[in-house]
Amino acid sequence: MTSRLTLGWPLTTVVKRILVVLVVTWVVQVIAERWMSLPWIGETLALTPGQVISDGRVWQLLSYMWLHSTASFTHILFNGLFLWMFGGTLEQRWGGRGFLKFYLLSGLGAGLVVLLVGWIFYPDTPVLGASGAIYGLVVAWAITEPNRLVYLFGVFPMRGKYFALIPIVFALADFLVQGEGTSHAAHLGGLATGALLVTGWWKPQKAWRQFRLFYLRRKLKVIDGGRGGEEPPQDGYWN
C-alpha cells in the first residue's frame, strides 16, 4: 500500500513505519532525558565502541540507528526527510522486506565502521542516529535512479544522480572540514555499505569479475589505439 504526496515522492508502508518508530523513540528520549533527567536510554542503546568491545554490548550496533539527538529537532527532521525522499522509491523497487533488509544492513555496516574507527580514536564517545542507514539509501537511489527527473525546491529540474550528490557532497565536505558533533565514520560507512550492497561488490567473485572486465576493456582500448595509429589514452556525542 503506497500513498502519494503532492511533491511526487512515494510514502510507502515500511518507510512510514520506520518514520513512526523513529519519531516515537525520539519523543520517549526527550521525555526521559530532558524532562525526567533519565539518560539511561542513550547510555544503553547508543553505539559506544568501548562498551561494545569491553562489555559485549553488541546490540548497540543496531540500536543506535533508532535514536536521535534530543538537543535539536533538526537531526531527526533531516534524517526523516531523506528517508521519505529516497526510501519510498527503493521500497517500490525491492519490496518491503528487501528494503527493510537493505536499510538495516546499511545501518549495521555504518555501525561496524564506527566501531572500528571509534575503538582506535574515540572508544568512549557515543554515536546515535539513522544517518548511516540513510546515506546507504541515498547512494543506492543514485545508482538505481540516475536519470530520474526531480525538481529541486519544486522548481529546478535535475537528474537523480545529481540530486543525490547534494547530501553526499555535504557529507564529504563535512568530513574534510572536520565538522564538530558529526560521526563522519557513520556517514561514510553508510555510503560505502550502501554502494557495496546495491552493486554486489561485497561479493569477492563479483568484484573480481568487474575488475577483470575493466582491465580487459582498458587493454582493448590500447590495442585498438595502436592499430589505428593513435596514442593510447593517458591514465594517469556524535550523530
Q: Per residue, what are the HEC states of 2-42?
A: EEECCCCCEEEHHHHHHHHHHHHHHHHHHHHHHHCCCCHHH
Cβ–Cβ under 8 Å, residues 14 and 91: yes
Give the span between the Cα atoms of 21 and 107, in whole angstroms: 15
The whole-model pTM stands at 0.78
The per-residue pLDDT for 21 is: 97
Indicate the SS3 state at residue 239.
coil
For the chain, domains (ranges, CATH) are: 2-205 (1.20.1540.10)
Residue 141: which region, alpha, beta or left (left: phi > 0; alpha: psi -120 to 50)?
A: alpha
Give me the phi and psi of 154, to 5 degrees please.
75, 10
Beta bridge partner(s), residue 149: 159
Give the span between the Cα atoms of 167 and 228, in whole angstroms: 44
The per-residue pLDDT for 103 is: 97
Query: Which residue, chain included where needed, has cell 543525490?
Result: 164
The per-residue pLDDT for 161 is: 75
The per-residue pLDDT for 154 is: 60
Which triple of cell numbers denotes residue 118?
571509534
Could you tell me which of 13, 129, 133, 148 has the C-alpha nearest to residue 72?
Answer: 129
- pLDDT per residue as tens, the chain (239 positions): 444 333 568 899 999 999 999 999 999 999 999 888 888 898 899 999 999 999 999 999 999 999 999 988 899 999 999 999 899 999 999 999 999 999 999 999 999 999 999 998 889 999 999 999 999 999 999 899 888 777 665 666 778 778 777 777 777 776 666 666 678 889 989 999 999 999 886 555 655 566 666 666 666 665 555 444 444 344 444 55
Could you tell me which of 20, 16, 25, 36 has the C-alpha nearest to residue 62?
Answer: 25
